[in-house]
Amino acid sequence: MSGGNADATGLGVIDRRGGQMSVVNWDTQQARNQIPNYAHPVIRRGRLLDSLSEAMFSPPDSPTTVAMLIAPVGTGKTMLLSDWAAAVSALPNPPTIAWLTIEERDNDLDTVRSAVRTALESTGNPAVSDAVRNLPPTTDENYPVALTQALEAMGEPVWLILDDAHLLHEPTVLEALGNFLRWAPPSLRTILAGRFEPPLAVHRMRLEGRVCDLSHRDLAFTEEEAAILFAEHGVRLDGLDLAKILGRTEGWAAGLRLAAISLARHPDPTAMITDFSGDSRVVADYLVNEVLDGLTEDEREFVVETSIPDAFTVELAEALTGNPGSRDALDTLEHSNFLVERVCGSPGWYRYHPLLREYLRAEVGRLGRDAVGDLERVAAGWFARSGDHEHALEHALHAGDDDALLTLLRECGLRLVLAGNWATVISVLDRVSPTVRADPSTRLLRVAAELARGNTAAASSTLSALDRASDQDDAEMPAELEMLGDGLRVQVAVQNGGIENALKTLQSDPVGEAGDPELDSFALLQEGIAELYLGRLVPAGLHLEDALATARAAELPAVVLEALTGLAALAAYRCRIDDMIARSSEATDHGRAHDLTDHRHCHLAQLFGALGHYLRVEDEAAAQLASLCVPHLAACESPAMGRASVLLGAILEFESTDDRHAVARVIRDHCTPGRNRPLPPGTTALLATSAQRAFLQVGEPVWAAQVAELTAAELGHGGEVAVLQATMSLHHRRLDAARRELAPVLSGELECLSDVTLIRAWLMAATIADAREDSITARSALVEAITIAEPEAILRPFHDGGEPLRDLLDRHRGRFGVYDKFAERARSVIPQSAQGATDLLTPREMELLVELPSWHTAEQIAADLFVSVNTVKTHLRGIYRKLDVRTRRDAITEARARGLL
């Protein structure tokens, strides 16, 4: 046992070796040399030093009198205390410090009393030395009371450091120490350090706030502290390597020191860090000598066998070891502060330190292949029974039992994919044997996993290979696998085309009646999504609702999320804005509740929510949602989702951007479907008119005309295409042509997929009638538009109608009956026209300006506008003069710069 004093120059230490005692001056450098060579060098870990100082320097009336520094071997307890004591001793008026390092022989009451007395006498403080010398012999039963009274009478602060306190186990010694701590005077502060807490009766002291506890988590090195440690060894690491080594060691001081020693003599630090593990020689030697050496044979066998899983419970430990006393074994290890800890946030689970587990796994390998396989099979079975299929698959893979692994993949593989854990399935399938990989069920599982991560090409290739193999062997596939394969083919067809044929094949099976919740919900979901892409909304809704109910009953959160998102899309295509926003919010909340916020369908649900707000001209809410989801969807694995998100995001941004032409180019680039980028017809119907409007506003009529062509290619010549064509005619002031093109839409002869399009058609009809001074027809068309828009508060078409529509609503204010309130709301969302440049030109000059980008001759323009050539030339001269230009090209450029085109 050793004890010492604190003075301005260092610590006075009693060095007791071989029964001899001598006083030595132990300065900081000597203190380092006294620490075993595996401890870390001096690191000024300010947060810990502050915690100790706060406890020890607290006022005399503070309840805190004891600090417990309890942590496993190699965490740097002794060095931290020596650093702290040396720092304190350098203060102007340092307290008196006595340092005791416990040995096994100190489990004797008289021995430990003598050690305390000797340490106090040797502090170098005359007042303390004199007070202790006048005490009765340590064998006197009144000695503890006399010591307490002497320290209290002296009144000077005295700190007692008791290192390796875990070695104390003799009941009489522990009882005496506990009493001494409870009744110590306020001027005495005690620090107990050890690998585990000695069984002292200090529970009441803790409740009274008299104990400050510091654990291995407090001692763990931060990144900054680790960098200092490595620098002291001449090692400089970049941020990535430093983070990697810190992750391996979890800030464990001994592990970091061993890594620093190895790195200092290694020519390639990055390679060394990659190879640094528990079975590295330098780490293994330390773990054997300092951590495992004190275990009994049974304990060592226990930790080796329970190192098979990353973490384990008492029940799993019993299954692996066959030891019904596993709870007691774990309690013993935990109490001795072995490198095992409870998993934070997972009650009942334990884990070994990563470096120790890596060493133990190497030890497992020495048991032999059969023994390791048996342990892995036990772990796989236990995890499978517990419902933890991810870990079950990993252990089944390590066991090397192809039959067991194949059975497990059939039982839980699809559930994992549908739960969003496709990455786990792919990781396992990448490592299975050729026999397992060739099985049809495994191939279909690979297709499902690849589709889940958006790799349609790989999924298609695997399906084709499976079809060729089936054609060659003519083997009949089980009905469940047939249904799974048909569902996957529908999923591929949604991206690659051929949806109708793939859906017919799937519907030839009793979809939703397989009796397997995973398969039923999957098939119903694919059927519903396919119907959405075919524009058949009624059956799509039925299948999606069935998929949702089945997935909820089977507790498949990812399928629930996809079904909710599909229903949000369905509501969007039906223009049920309230339902769309509600489904979107429900899907987003579900994603948060099930840790699926990174799932692309969670972001897709947010996108439909943004669309709902956009249609209601709630631009701030729409922009906020779009900012959350568009960046994720744009980079997701699905080209179609990426296209839709960028397109809608650009349409939303167009309303507030300072560079509308640049945003319009983004819209143009994503209007073209392209291969593997199809959108459901409802999406195209909702976005086409907004895209066309953006092009016209930036003076790109050619782009705007192309929207009608692209939409016709996707949807055929229906109501949407007719409205787009009418918009172009109206833009060119061809009112009769626009009215003819709208007529079949307004009569119902051409059906619009979206009510938004129909509302736009009626509003266009109203403005055309108003331009022809047909007030009755204009009001009638307005009423039709308002009647369709009011139930779902669809305001975007009114916003886009601009100033002519505002004027029209103004003139008919108060003439809409029960719809007056909504009509006023619709009028309020129409932005005021910008004053200034537009006012320079007369209405006739504005009509002519719109025609200039067509590059038609004056004669052609005159014929289109039903005016004379001289009139065109007169207006053209007025435009040039007011825009301060001399040529037609300059007039177009200036008009675009001023926002007139």
Per-residue HEC secondary structure of 590-615 comes to HHHHCCCCCCHHHHHHHHHHHHHHHH
Residues 6+ apart with CB under 8 A from 434: none
Position 265 scores a pLDDT of 63
16 has pLDDT over 50:
no
DSSP 679: -
Domain assignment of residue 603, yes or no? no
- ∠ CA 43-46-51 to the nearest 5 degrees? 125
Domain assignment of residue 400, yes or no? no
Domain boundary among the residues 793, 828, 863 is at 828
**Pairing of β 66-70 and β 211-214:** parallel
**Pairing of β 211-214 and β 350-352:** unpaired
Domain assignment of residue 888, yes or no? yes
CATH number for position 211: 3.40.50.300
> What are the pLDDT digits (tens) for 527-567?
999 999 998 999 999 999 999 999 999 888 989 999 999 99
- Same domain? 238 vs 215: no
DSSP 291: I
- Same domain? 228 vs 296: yes
25 has pLDDT over 60:
no
CATH number for position 889: 1.10.10.10
CA distance linking residue 96 with residue 214, whole number of Å:
22
Q: Which residue pairs, CB below 8 angstroms and at least 24 apart, start in 772-778? A: 772/735, 775/811, 778/808, 778/812
CB 98 within 8 A of CB 183: no
CB burial class (10 A; 0-12, 13-18, 19+) of residue 778?
buried
DSSP 739-776: HHHHHHHHHTSS--SSHHHHHHHHHHHHHHHHHTT-HH
Best CA proximity match to 39, nearest among 248, 363, 255: 255
Position 2 scores a pLDDT of 38
- Same domain? 189 vs 297: no
The least confident of 352-356, 399-403, 833-837 is 833-837
Number of domains in the chain: 4
Give the model's confidence band at 749: pLDDT under 50 very low, under 70 low, under 90 confident, else very high: very high
Domain boundary among the residues 168, 201, 219 is at 219
> What are the pLDDT digits (tens) for 63-90?
677 888 887 777 777 777 777 777 777 7
Position 35 scores a pLDDT of 31
Is 575 in a helix, a strand, or coil?
coil
CB burial class (10 A; 0-12, 13-18, 19+) of residue 225?
buried
What percentage of residues in the chain have a pLDDT greater than 90?
29
Domain assignment of residue 132, yes or no? yes
Best CA proximity match to 52, nearest among 225, 187, 193, 169: 193
Position 33 scores a pLDDT of 37
- Same domain? 52 vs 171: yes
773 has pLDDT over 90:
no
The least confident of 667-681, 701-715, 774-788, 856-870 is 667-681
Domain boundary among the residues 219, 238, 262 is at 219
Q: How many CA atoms lie within 13 A of 689 on its CB side?
A: 30
Helices 735-747 and 719-731, axial angle in degrees (round to 10): 160
- Same domain? 76 vs 180: yes
719 has pLDDT over 50:
yes
**Token output for 762:** 């009626």
Q: Within its chain, how far is the Cα of 713 from the centroid? A: 39
Domain assignment of residue 431, yes or no? no
- Same domain? 159 vs 270: no
Give the model's confidence band at 7: pLDDT under 50 very low, under 70 low, under 90 confident, else very high: very low
Position 474 scores a pLDDT of 62
- ∠ CA 889-670-570 to the nearest 5 degrees? 135
Position 45 scores a pLDDT of 52
15 has pLDDT over 60:
no
> What are the pLDDT digits (tens) for 873-885?
888 888 888 887 8
- Same domain? 211 vs 228: no
CA distance linking residue 48 with residue 506, whole number of Å:
65
The least confident of 263-272, 769-778, 820-829, 840-849 is 263-272
Position 3 scores a pLDDT of 40
Give the N- to C-terminal CA distance of the chain in Å, as an integer.
92
**Strongest mean pLDDT among 296-310, 479-493, 609-623, 655-669:** 609-623
- Same domain? 755 vs 819: yes
Give the model's confidence band at 219: pLDDT under 50 very low, under 70 low, under 90 confident, else very high: confident
Q: Which residues of 152-197 form beta strands (DSSP E)?
A: 158-163, 188-194
> What are the pLDDT digits (tens) for 33-62?
333 333 333 344 555 556 666 666 666 666
In 213-306, alpha helices (H): 216-219, 223-232, 239-249, 253-264, 269-275, 281-286, 297-305
> What are the pLDDT digits (tens) for 833-851?
544 344 567 777 888 888 8
Domain assignment of residue 536, yes or no? no
Q: Within its chain, how far is the Cα of 733 from the centroid? A: 53
More confident residue, 372 or 782: 782
Look-up of token digits 């609702």:
545
23 has pLDDT over 70:
no
> What are the pLDDT digits (tens) for 109-149?
888 888 888 888 777 788 888 888 888 887 887 888 888 88
Position 835 scores a pLDDT of 40
Position 100 scores a pLDDT of 83
CA distance linking residue 897 with residue 890, whole number of Å:
10
More confident residue, 69 or 898: 69
| Position 285, amino acid | D
Q: What is the dihedral of CA 161, 167, 172, 174, to 10 degrees?
A: 50
More confident residue, 824 or 293: 824
Q: What is the dihedral of CA 78, 79, 85, 87, to 10 degrees?
A: -170
- Same domain? 139 vs 184: yes
More confident residue, 624 or 846: 624
Q: How large is the average pLDDT for residues 295-315?
A: 89
- Same domain? 59 vs 203: yes
DSSP 690-701: HHHHHHHHTT-H
Q: How large is the average pLDDT for residues 485-503?
A: 88
- Same domain? 211 vs 240: no
761 has pLDDT over 90:
yes
Position 428 scores a pLDDT of 92
pTM of the model: 0.65
Position 448 scores a pLDDT of 92
Position 28 scores a pLDDT of 33
CA distance linking residue 349 with residue 389, whole number of Å:
17
CB 658 within 8 A of CB 897: no
Position 12 scores a pLDDT of 39
In 430-575, alpha helices (H): 434-438, 440-452, 456-473, 479-496, 499-507, 517-533, 537-553, 557-573
Best CA proximity match to 678, nearest among 527, 505, 534, 522: 534
Position 788 scores a pLDDT of 96
Position 249 scores a pLDDT of 74
17 has pLDDT over 60:
no
254 has pLDDT over 80:
no
**Strongest mean pLDDT among 178-182, 467-471, 505-509, 616-620:** 616-620
Its domain, for residue 757, covers 698-828
Position 834 scores a pLDDT of 43
26 has pLDDT over 70:
no
The least confident of 201-210, 782-791, 794-803 is 201-210
Q: Each residue of 255-267: b (16+ CB within 10 Å) or e?
A: bbbbbbebbeebe
- Same domain? 877 vs 774: no
Residues 6+ apart with CB under 8 A from 166: 70, 194, 195, 196, 197, 198, 336, 337
**Token output for 108:** 């004797």
Position 791 scores a pLDDT of 95
Q: What is the dihedral of CA 319, 321, 323, 328, to 10 degrees?
A: -100
Mean pLDDT, the chain, as a whole number? 82
Domain assignment of residue 628, yes or no? no
CA distance linking residue 566 with residue 584, whole number of Å:
10
Residues 6+ apart with CB under 8 A from 372: 364, 365, 398
Domain assignment of residue 636, yes or no? no
